[in-house]
Structure 1
Amino acid sequence: LLFGLILADVLTDRALSRLPVDKALHIEVTGYQWWWQARYLSDDGAPAFTLANELHVPVGRPVVVALKAADVIHTFWVPNLHGKKDMIPGRDATIEFRADRPGVYRGQCAEFCGYEHALMAFLVTADPPAQYEAWAARQRLPAVTTLDTVAARGREVFLTQDCARCHSVRGTPAQGSIGPDLTHVASRQFLAAGTLANNRGNLAGWIVDPRTLKPGTAMPPTRLPPEDLQALLTWMETLK
């Protein structure tokens, strides 16, 4: 049985190593304690857009992921698409895969990287090509300008609190680079690298006291008056 598994592993690894990468989609993924930044590149290699903890790829098209680690060793692992690949600070690596069927594939950091290693997950969604292109077109757009007065108040709260120092939202003055890009955060399925379902209640709890939900996270608590918190949540729900 062990010999059979070894043989299957060798044959699978050889097949993956021969995967053609012509006209591949290129993504740069950086591992942080404890989340993932994904920067999509256009065909000429220029940055197109950035998101966090969730990837979308077109079915049938090869994907080349450049891997980096910002702090400690992480490991990029999507079991249904490829094997593990270490991400070592100061050393760049790449991994290539292709999703042949639509679906949602769970990924995980597979190298112990600190206190919240077990809560460092991500999703890879394989979309039909036309659906992927529509998704990518939306991701390239800046945040929408809302005419709702409550949402507008929430935008002001975001820009005047510490949020804008750590996070960026394209189309606003917020250009922070410490935390995830939030331009289209409302379109994501999860918060905090797969820890919480993305809904209003979890988002409120994450803003107010993230360390009770994910101990060890670098994000500090943000205590807001109730009306400011509700306005901020309303605005963030427009970031789709």
Structure 2
Amino acid sequence: MPQPKRTRRVEGDGNNQRHAHQRVAGPQGPDIMPAIGCDAVGEGGTAGREGRRPRDHPNDGFHEPVFHSIGNYPSRPSFSVRRANLDVERMGVESTRSRLVRRLRTRSGDWGGLLLGVTGSGCSGIQSALDPAGADAARIYWLTIILAIGGALIFVGVTALLLYAIFAAPARRAWLGGRRTIVYGGLAFPIATLSLLLPYGLTVMRDVDAPAEDALQIEIIGEQYWWRVRYPASREQPEIVTANELRLPVGQPITISVTATDVIHSLWIPNFGGKIDMIPGRVNRLSFTAERAGRYRGVCAEFCGDQHARMAFDVLVVDAAGFAAWRAAQAEGAREPPTPFLQRGRDLFRSGGCGSCHAVRGIEASGTFGPDLTHVGSRRTIGAGQLPNNIGTLAGWIANTQHIKPGVRMPSYGMLSGEDLRALAGYVESLK
């Protein structure tokens, strides 16, 4: 019976391997199926391992081309492992490159809208560091502009280099990894930039913190979640105490001494300068000059509790005559209610225990736990800048304090009847 033949691999160079397979008669008879040689099988499978080169072969560092014969068909070269890996890497780079281009094109409109939204959201005049209303705020503004322009230029440059490194040909981007690029771009440029910005920033800090000798002295005390404002007595005016509103004369230097009674707060009037911490047991000072009349807004810039975001105050800058008239009016006591309806509201204020927490000069109410209400009707807002000041909002605040601003130390007086609530709110609104 004819015996099958086996294929035997013969080692040799690439040229001789084309004819390296020869028939060898086997013990079982004639050819049944020709043997198939494959270097991939030799790498990962078990069949054909007898044909692998030993690991200590001197040419093991690379793959030689291997050719095979299948039946009577002509020999064909197999793919090299290294060439396949290069093809896969090239395909991955091209795919990543195309995906990045598509995303940049499709997202450009979204990024543009986001940029406009972010920049436009900070342009409100009454609370914006981009609208300085004093010399100190202008110094901080220009420092911000210089840093923003410098940062934008650096960002554009780094982004351009990144895109160049991704899309440029390998031969053209080789210089990015050179020693000179690393030394100049990674060391010399940051050192030079920071060395120029440091003295400029220190100069701005020195000029902003310099107090004036003839400055108007004001004290502001931060409490959860409102502001106690005190104007100390001077030679011409007695001391006055108000809350959640700051009146300033235009063109006169101001020095504000700040502290807190419970937790750390931070006072910030963006149009007039930087923020300053209000720390219990410590007094910090902020100096500036309001050079433009108008209404501005101050906020707490340090998280102080649940109602931190609802702790604001109005800043009203008026001329010297208007400020003097306002201060003289604030020094007076509360006026006698002119109507029986408002007199009923005053009686409710006394009997309801309001005077144990609030002070109203001129009646039996000298509490210091809450805001001074002697002239609360002359303020623009209530609740530390949360609601406009009128009878309706005052009635809602008195009846639903904990619903409007949960966590404040004033209880809700929802047990009052509608008539009593209107009388009490009317009396409080009349305190001007």
TM range (shorter): over 0.9
Residues 154-179 of structure 1: per-residue CA shift (max 9 Å, x gap): 00000110211110101111011111
| Alignment pair present for 1:83 and 2:228 | no
Cα gap change, 1:192/1:9 in structure 2, threshold over 3 Å: closer, same or farther?
farther
Name the CA shift for 1:9/1:81 in 2 (closer, same or farther; >3 Å).
farther
Partner in structure 2 of residue 224 of structure 1: 416
Q: What's the CA shift string for 1:183-212, capped at 9, x where partnerless?
A: 011111111111111121111111001111
Displacement of 1:47 in angstroms is 5.9
User: Which residues of 2 match residues 30-179 of structure 1 at below 5 A?
Assistant: 30-44=221-235, 48-179=239-370
1:17 aligns with 2:209: yes
Matched to 2:258, the amino acid is L
Given that 2:230 and 2:240 are in contact with CA atoms closer than 8 Å, whether structure 1 keeps it comes out as: yes
CA distance in 1 between partners of 2:340 and 2:236 (Å): 39
**In 2, Cα distance between equivalents of 1:143 and 1:40:** 18
Alpha-carbon deviation of 1:11? 4.8
After TM superposition, the structure 1 stretch with the greater mean CA deviation from structure 2, 147-156 or 1-10, is 1-10
TM-score, normalised to structure 1's length? 0.93
Greater helix proportion: 2
| Structure possessing the higher radius of gyration over alpha carbons | 2
Q: What's 1:233 paired with? A: 425
The 10-residue stretch of structure 1 (3-12 or 182-191) with the greater mean CA deviation from structure 2: 3-12
TM-score (norm 2): 0.53
Q: Which residue of 2 aligns with 1:192?
A: 383
1:216 Cα offset (Å)? 1.2
- Contiguous gaps of at least 5 residues in structure 1: none
Structure 1 residues 200-234: Cα deviation after superposition (integer angstroms, max 9, x where no partner): 11111110011111111111011212221111122
Is the 1:39–1:47 Cα contact (8 Å) retained in structure 2? no
Q: Which has the higher strand share?
A: 1
Question: Alignment length, in residue pairs?
Answer: 239
Closer, same or farther: CA 9–203 of 1 in aligned 2, 3 Å: farther
Question: Structure 1, residues 56-101: CA drift from partner, whole Å, max 9, x if none?
Answer: 0100111111111000000010011110100111111111111011
Alignment partners' CA distance in 2, 1:158 and 1:132: 30
Identity %: 46
In the alignment, residue 122 of structure 1 is paired with which amino acid? F
* Larger RCO (alpha carbons 8 Å, 6+ apart): 1
RMSD over aligned Cα atoms:
1.9
